[in-house]
Structure 1
């Protein structure tokens, strides 16, 4: 085939796609109706490319991102394109140390997990009772919650706690301490729920404190986002003013194609893409095309979205709501305070004792991740002083001595505002979201499939 002069590689590919053989190939592929996962360690020098082709389905993009982030993989770049019944996702991923994925067990796990998602099979935590808690955050609240559970002979196996804008949300997975089995007795569950609700109410949260037993938790962190969204934390004013850079979010309508374009500029961190995609998905927006790029500690994310009925965002009020919800989703996981890691033999009342020590030293837990493996407790706490400032190192050291220097270790100390480098690059304004055309998104996806020459 002779090419006309002036055609670039992208245009040549479109001509190739019009040939009968290629049309037949894509027709056969679509008829097979299955999920294809391809790993490529050769195309890019600093990341593994994970390419996914599958039937388009609301939520399947979130499930794919969820699988990658649950493995603590870092997504450096991503290109998402959905057209007709099919979507194509390309992720540039590394482990947390910046290395490519080379272990066959990890690659096999990703592939099998994506197939389970495609066929609608979810993985759930079995053999545990799940509690959901939301309410007003305060110093010592977590200590009171774990003290109640300890007194009621409940063993906390796993838990995650988030705080944002003065609110707290927690999922707690527990079992009976004596029988080592799920708690199923309705009267006992009613007692647990009632006592925890009283703790959450305190003196000033009579209406909004919520406690419930749930039987259907598909993913802990997604559920935490949903709980805080239902609690409308995004509408509340921050109790504390932090010196971290806030995410810059803009929403504009791309009238030529009837898309709404969401542009986000913020500090990069692990699981950032999951938090954003989770929020857009649960707000019933469909992501048709997207581009994610990270450089050093900065992240730029762009999404072309529509409502489930195919219409773009229609009002200024809706735009502002999307902006507030995305800002809240990004900030919820932001780690404020000193990171303390506890590794010790698990025992009845351990969490109650540790968090009581925090409370007695006026330390506030802003985020927590509790887990138990065999008979070992592996817990992570982020703590500040009572008003949200960095905790005094002397107090941290005193707490470590009370709990055990060998058991409780400091992993991170926060930088003060003066120590942080000033941002020299201006944030992208609202108009910047429209500059990227739909054709350029498709072109970048083709780059990442290796169909045209580029890997940048």
Structure 2
């Protein structure tokens, strides 16, 4: 009987598709602790084997600061759920740690990862509180304590999370924030990404310091935002209640992937009608696309599928490849990645190799894409080389047991490239620091729009402890060209701001950022935001 039970449990451990992802597991475990229903779910069904196994054999995290003089070794042993690797990497980024090397090994139900990490300045991790947080980062009770290296209290504030995506258009951020402000809602934090004609927003919103409670109002706001984001249902609007810290980058990755995937599928379905032989031959000369599935590993029967899959990179992806080659106002870390995906015939693994310039969030971007596209990483090596380059190698399989598919490999390569490239928006970098005031983001975005400037990237953070807002924008002029610094400065000066030091780290081909400070007295007297008061609940007729 015991042998049969062990065999049954052993088989269950390999049905990975039935196992809840890490985020769902964490929420269920928290609920079970509060309700004291340790062996069953809220529906009364028996919890999956890994949930019980983690209670018997909890996650083990070992930190070694003695074996290596240059890096801190972090060894993680844990049950392997979809999203666990993303959680670990995201947590280390929140602590502002640099992952120099990593070794990933998994038997699907359990993984053992070794990370070599340093502080942002290249020194070993010695902060006692950081080390303590690292040891508890997969604890179900652990909350986000750090944000980009800045220690913050556990955020008890609940907010309304607004997620929007759709075709990009100048002034959309200004329209959305004005709509919220005109209806008594304040944007507490926000992040905006744009990429090849698409945009995604994540906004944390409060009404009188609390989440928006009026469901009728939420539904009406959603309908208006759908109209702003795009006609004929082209936009996506999700509104939900959220507690704790908002992981903007994680959410934006998921939203942009959905947009990219939809565009890729549309391009693939139309490529046979829109391409001529000359166009196809021209694109096949691009080595990074032609090698996405290596001919040496593809069978002869795959050639037709491989050729057809090349067509799927037509359209927006190809146009953006041309645009991204321009160094104009682009980060010095920008580079076009070299991505190869081949089949390991004997093991069934998909070998994914990525080579590009190194940067702090590179691993996060790639593992997010793999997880969101339902690829499980079994083994991997990550290396940040002394020359500034990075090499990542993953042995992965589709989560649902799908066989090797050249078309799917082409799509995965395109999605990985997009996830890496969209980290580098074009634009002049603008920092604006101010006191936290109702409608401040609506005011700033409105002024920039009226000045003929478009926002390619935005990140807004409110520090509740000292009532200070930090706004970071990447701006271009309305034609998509480099903006004049004088025009940007004039826009900020309309609000009473004054130029402050912006740093001296300027690389050839990149413009020095501009930093403005908006003093509280001038900010109040020059505020020209929405006409409604913070207590207003009427909808703006202009929207």
The TM-score with structure 2 as length reference comes to 0.65
Q: Which residue of 1 aligns with 2:198?
A: 167
Which of 418, 423, 428 is the matching residue for 1:338? 428
Instruction: Say if 2:398 is the partner of 1:307.
Output: yes
Decide whether the 8 Å contact of 2:158 with 2:242 is kept in 1: no
- Give me the whole-angstrom Cα distance separating, in 2, the residues matched to 1:96 and 1:334: 19
Instruction: Say if 2:398 is the partner of 1:398.
Output: no
1:289 is paired with a residue of what secondary structure?
strand
Instruction: Say if 2:251 is the partner of 1:223.
Output: yes
Number of equivalent positions: 382
Task: Decide whether aligned partners of structure 1 residues 100 and 338 sit closer, same or farther in structure 2, where only a CA change above 3 A counts.
Answer: farther
Task: Decide whether aligned partners of structure 1 residues 248 and 91 sit closer, same or farther in structure 2, where only a CA change above 3 A counts.
Answer: same
Q: Which residue of 2 aligns with 1:450?
A: none
Q: Which residue of 1 aligns with 2:474?
A: 382
Q: Which residue of 1 aligns with 2:163?
A: 132
The TM-score with structure 1 as length reference comes to 0.77
Instruction: Say if 2:225 is the partner of 1:196.
Output: yes
Task: Decide whether aligned partners of structure 1 residues 396 and 30 sit closer, same or farther in structure 2, where only a CA change above 3 A counts.
Answer: closer
Offset of 1:216 from its aligned partner?
6.2
- Give me the whole-angstrom Cα distance separating, in 2, the residues matched to 1:40 and 1:388: 49
1:161 is paired with a residue of what secondary structure?
strand
Which of 162, 172, 179 is the matching residue for 1:148? 179
Instruction: Say if 2:209 is the partner of 1:209.
Output: no
Q: Which residue of 2 aligns with 1:241?
A: 323
Task: Decide whether aligned partners of structure 1 residues 117 and 335 sit closer, same or farther in structure 2, where only a CA change above 3 A counts.
Answer: farther
Structure 2: runs of 5+ lacking an equivalent: 1-52, 144-153, 265-315, 327-333, 512-543
Instruction: Say if 2:446 is the partner of 1:352.
Output: no
Q: Which residue of 2 aligns with 1:183?
A: 212
- Give me the whole-angstrom Cα distance separating, in 1, the residues matched to 2:500 and 2:189: 18
- Give me the whole-angstrom Cα distance separating, in 1, the residues matched to 2:94 and 2:54: 29
Q: Which residue of 2 aligns with 1:19?
A: none
Offset of 1:144 from its aligned partner?
1.5
1:194 is paired with a residue of what secondary structure?
helix
Task: Decide whether aligned partners of structure 1 residues 157 and 247 sit closer, same or farther in structure 2, where only a CA change above 3 A counts.
Answer: same
- Give me the whole-angstrom Cα distance separating, in 2, the residues matched to 1:289 and 1:53: 14
- Give me the whole-angstrom Cα distance separating, in 1, the residues matched to 2:256 and 2:196: 10
Q: Which residue of 2 aligns with 1:157?
A: 188
Decide whether the 8 Å contact of 2:186 with 2:206 is kept in 1: yes
Task: Decide whether aligned partners of structure 1 residues 30 and 232 sit closer, same or farther in structure 2, where only a CA change above 3 A counts.
Answer: closer
Q: Deviations over 1:351-394 (max 9, x none)?
A: 11111221122222111111111221122112223344333222
Q: Which residue of 2 aligns with 1:78?
A: 102
- Give me the whole-angstrom Cα distance separating, in 2, the residues matched to 1:98 and 1:113: 22
Structure 1: runs of 5+ lacking an equivalent: 1-28, 420-456
1:329 is paired with a residue of what secondary structure?
helix
Q: Which residue of 1 aligns with 2:388?
A: 297
- Give me the whole-angstrom Cα distance separating, in 2, the residues matched to 1:118 and 1:151: 37
Offset of 1:220 from its aligned partner?
3.1
- Give me the whole-angstrom Cα distance separating, in 2, the residues matched to 1:161 and 1:278: 18
- Give me the whole-angstrom Cα distance separating, in 1, the residues matched to 2:359 and 2:393: 16
Task: Decide whether aligned partners of structure 1 residues 72 and 336 sit closer, same or farther in structure 2, where only a CA change above 3 A counts.
Answer: farther
Decide whether the 8 Å contact of 2:376 with 2:397 is kept in 1: yes
- Aligned Cα root-mean-square deviation (Å): 2.8
- Give me the whole-angstrom Cα distance separating, in 1, the residues matched to 2:196 and 2:136: 38
Decide whether the 8 Å contact of 1:339 with 1:413 is kept in 2: no
Q: Which residue of 2 aligns with 1:285?
A: 375
